[in-house]
Structures are given as structure tokens and as C-alpha cells.
Amino acid sequence: MKMTTRSHNDVTILYPEGKITLGDGDQELGEAVRTSLEQGARKVLINFSKVSYLDSSGVGELVGCYTSVKGKSGELRICGMNSRIFSLITMTSLHSVFDVKDTEEESLSGF
């Protein structure tokens, strides 16, 4: 998995690319969020538009990211999920935990 990061005002936006599965991208996602928090970020947006696949290990890491951000009194939002990933998030009822939007612009609005 490849990870790109950019800032928009006081929001850190992470762009994972590829698969987030056990042993392939799951730990990188968590590490990127923790590094952002260590650098002072408190508003984190993960844009999944270039993620092709997410398994249960990736979902677990995403929950860990949420816990890490909340532990620093921050806010985590996610956007850009394909229909399969969105179905997985919905099936696990995590759509009620995460602030999920279709686009990056929607997520950034009112952050």
C-alpha cells in the first residue's frame, strides 16, 4: 500500500492507495494516523478513493485509528469509499461511529 499525505487548513488528509489487508497496508494506515497525531494533527480525514480492497484486519486498524484520534481529543472522518468497502463499513455498523461522506469536499465542509 502507498500512502500520500497533504494538509488543508488544519486538516491532515491521508490518501492510502491499494489494498488494506492483513500484512499489507493495515499497519501502514495506523502508523500514518499515529505519525499525524504526533505531529500535532487533531483533524484527520482518510480518503479511500484509491483503496481497492479492505478486509477485516483493515477495518480493525481503522477502528484503532479512530480510538487513537479520539484519545487525543481529535476527530476522524472518512470519505471516498467504493461500494464494497462502504457495504463492509455498513455491515459492521461502523457507519454510525465514523463520519462517512462520499467526497473529500463534503468531509472538509464544517470540519
Number of domains in the chain: 1
SS3 assignment, position 48: coil
Q: Name the residue with cell 486538516.
A: 11
Residue-wise pLDDT tens digits, 24-62: 888 999 999 999 999 999 999 999 999 999 999 999 999
Confidence of residue 23 (pLDDT cuts 50, 70, 90): confident
Per-residue confidence (pLDDT) for residue 25, from 0 to 100: 87
Judge contact between 106 and 79, C-beta under 8 A. Answer: yes
pLDDT tens per residue, range 68-82: 999 999 999 999 999
C-beta of residue 76 within 8 angstroms of C-beta of residue 66: yes
- Given this model, what pLDDT does residue 38 score? 97
- For residue 100, the SS3 value is strand
For residue 67, the domain's CATH number is 3.30.750.24
Measured CA to CA, the distance from residue 108 to residue 100 in angstroms comes to 11
Containing domain of residue 18, as a range? 2-108
